[in-house]
Structure 1
Amino acid sequence: MKSMLKKQKKLILTPEQQDAMRRAGRVNARLMDYIRPHVKAGVTTLSIDNLIHSWTIDNGHIPATLGYQNYPKSCCTSINDVICHGIPDEYTLKDGDIINVDITTIVDGWHGDQSETFFIGDVSEQRRAVTQCAFDCLYLAIDALTPGSRVSTIGETVVPEAHRRGFTVVREYVGHGLGRAFHLDPSIPHFPNRQSRIDRLYPGMCFTVEPMINAGSRYTRSDKVDGWTVRTKDGMASAQFEHTLLMTEDGPEILTQTEYGPRKGHQFECLEADRAGEKANAEST
């Protein structure tokens, strides 16, 4: 991840630049809503990538991942035990899978970046729970931030919550500053470390928060063949959610909020749990 970060002074955006980032975030969020109904059983991850690529180009924008450090596709699709950077291919989504779709769009030179984890059909309770944890950790971290707060506030919020639920937090892959470049300082780890206790988030700074939560061990392994795909070392499930944020004088502003996606407080349910609830209601009636 360090190689992705372009070392420079922390970027404080002007009001005009902040508006440009707001637009990039809105466009990226519309793309996420566009692809949402297509993420379902029976479709390949390559078909999802093709739709994302076509929508982006047809609307006059650029898919940021395509060609970035030789990455070959226009999005990342990370399934089950894949933590991040999964490459779309001919894999067909099936009942029980979870998949993180990570999209980044360049809009007039500025980047919008976000990801969501989707359920495919009826998922296991463990996969539901780790997805819920990743989602809740994202919003707990956002709520903990204030103008000028230390970056470590994020990790100090995420790690105890994940551990309380019996899960772990990935350390090798982190959030990042964002603007005209894809990856900027400061690094945004989801665990507290020395540098995150030094770095602060001032009004005018854009960055991502994207906790990666594992059902088992926090340790990772990288695919030595494709050079991108990162999996959990123990083969257990991983989930992630991501937003682009702008720190303002009033606190963090979410730039990639979708219209149809889950909002703060959302509770994910398994189909099996839904059916059990419906049965219980019917019996009580």
Structure 2
Amino acid sequence: MDEEEKASYRKAGDIAKDVREWSRGLVKPDAKVFDVAGQIESRIKESGGEMAFPVNICINDITAHYTPRAGDETKIRERDVVTIDLGVHINGCIADTAYTMDLSGDYGGMLRANEEALSSVIESIKPGISTGDLGEVVQSTLEDAGYKPIENLTGHEVKQYNLHAGISIPNVPVSYEKEIEEGMVLAIEPFATDGAGRVIESKQAEIFSLEELRPVRMRDARIMLNEIEKTRKALPFAARWFSKKISPLRLNILLRDLTSQGILHKYPILHEKEGGVVSQFEHTLIVTEDGCEVTT
């Protein structure tokens, strides 16, 4: 990694950190998730960054990939447990960070254990350590506190314009171990739950990414794909970002058809298998010679 690229990762991290802390004031009862997401995304742009992915706002058992649809009337309620997952990129260099707020006051122990798991993994990271060992750190920290990790979600390596690249960082011990190497950029994101410790997919998806750019016959599809390729490359986007340019019915048809053709990839909303409440804390870091540098 050259110094210019490293500087971009650091700048993205600084913006993500500032927006993350600023956004905490938006998470309150009666706030519309559509408004919260829009304000966070606007703040990222005003701060000089670009969205690495649509803001995710996951409430209670919803674990990942929930971004508001156009016209979404969902509101945060008084006793919700709310996770904000946001990403910033500078020249394709990504910072991915997340936090959970407990408006009920009932899940403080789970959130503290989740934050401890994240801190423990960060302290353990250095070149040569295996991903399985990192998964063991997450699992043991959470289980010692009486909670479960989400075993079928992982952290991930990031590369330029590639949010999920290379190796995965599990939240449980695994057999497919890989070694951490100096220069890797990793998003570490343990999830904690009082449920089963697994997620399942719903049928709904509001987040997509470009899988393979191929010729299409429909003019509006060509225009949309060209814009995606130009502005997003392989980074995820929200369906609502196109809602002012394409009618909702037509947009749904385009997204469905392009996904079925393998041109777009969809990210279904994920729920905890038994309806358990889920928390998430996440940082992005650069692996150094003897440890790591947290950018967020």
Query: Please, what TM-score do these two structures have when normalized by structure 1?
Result: 0.76
Q: Distance in 2 between matches of 1:21 and 1:95?
A: 36
Are 1:182 and 2:163 an aligned pair? Answer: yes
Decide which moves more: 34-43 or 204-213.
34-43
Secondary structure in 2 matching 1:19? helix
- Structure 2 residue 198 is matched with structure 1 residue 219: yes
TM-fit CA distance, 1:244: 0.1
Q: Is residue 47 of structure 1 aligned with residue 35 of structure 2? A: yes
Where in structure 2 are there 5+ consecutive unaligned residues? 206-266
Q: Which residue of 2 aligns with 1:231?
A: 271
2:185 maps to 206
- Find the partner of 2:176 among 195, 202, 221: 195
Query: What residue ranges of structure 1 are gaps of 5+ in the alignment?
Result: 1-12, 66-73, 257-285
Pick the aligned partner of 2:76 from 93, 102, 112: 93
Aligned position for 2:101: 118
1:18 aligns with 2:6: yes
Q: Output the CA distance in 1 between the equivalents of 2:142 and 2:97.
A: 21
Match in the other structure for 2:248 = none
RMSD: 1.6
Question: Which position in structure 1 is the counterpart of 2:232?
Answer: none
Worse-matched range after superposition: 16-25 or 98-107: 16-25
C-alpha deviation, 1:128, in angstroms: 2.0
2:143 corresponds to 1:103: no
Matched, 1:243 2:283: yes
Q: Which of 111, 124, 147 is matched with 1:131 structurally?
A: 111
Deviations 1:205-233 (A, max 9, x none): 11011011111211222111336221111
Is residue 63–residue 278 contact of structure 2 (8 Å, CA) maintained in 1?
yes
Cα offset, 1:56, TM superposition: 2.2
Q: How far did residue 134 of structure 1 move? A: 1.2
**Letter aligned with residue 277 of structure 2:** A
Per-residue deviation, 1:132: 1.7
Is the 2:154–2:190 Cα contact (8 Å) retained in structure 1? yes
CA distance in 2, matches of 1:101, 1:215: 19
Query: In structure 2, how many angstroms separate the alpha carbons of the residues matched to 1:187 and 1:240?
Result: 16
The size of the alignment, in residue pairs, is: 231
Structure 1: how far apart are the matches of 2:11 and 2:45?
16
1:87–1:228 CA contact under 8 A, matched in 2: no
- Kept in 1: contact 2:15–2:44 (CA 8 A): no
Q: CA deviation at 1:85?
A: 1.5
Change in 2 beyond 3 A, CA 1:216/1:15: same
Point out the structure with the larger strand share: 2
How far apart are the structure 2 equivalents of 1:128 and 1:119?
7
State the alpha-carbon separation in 2 of the partners of residues 57 and 146 from structure 1.
Answer: 33
Q: Secondary structure at the match of 1:178?
A: strand
The percent identity for this pair of structures is 25
Cα distance in 2 between the residues matched to 1:220 and 1:58: 34
Q: What is the alpha-carbon distance in structure 2 between the residues aligned to residue 252 and residue 51 of structure 1? A: 31
Please tell me whether the aligned partners of residues 82 and 101 of structure 2 are also in contact (alpha carbons under 8 angstroms).
Answer: yes
Residue correspondence of structure 1 range 257-276 to structure 2 within 5 A: none
* TM-score normalised to structure 2 length: 0.74
1:75 pairs with 55, 67, 77, which one? 55
SS at match of 2:203: coil
Which residue pairs with 1:5 in the alignment? none
- What residue number does 1:173 align with? 153
Distance in structure 1 (CA, Å) of the matches to 2:172 and 2:292: 19
Task: Report how far residue 169 of structure 1 moved.
Answer: 1.4
Q: Spell out, residue by residue over 1:61-103, the C-alpha distance to the aligned partner (whole angstroms, 9 max, x if none).
A: 32122xxxxxxxx300111111111223322112221111000
| 1:149 partner SS | coil
Output the amino acid matched with 1:173: L
Aligned to 1:155: 135
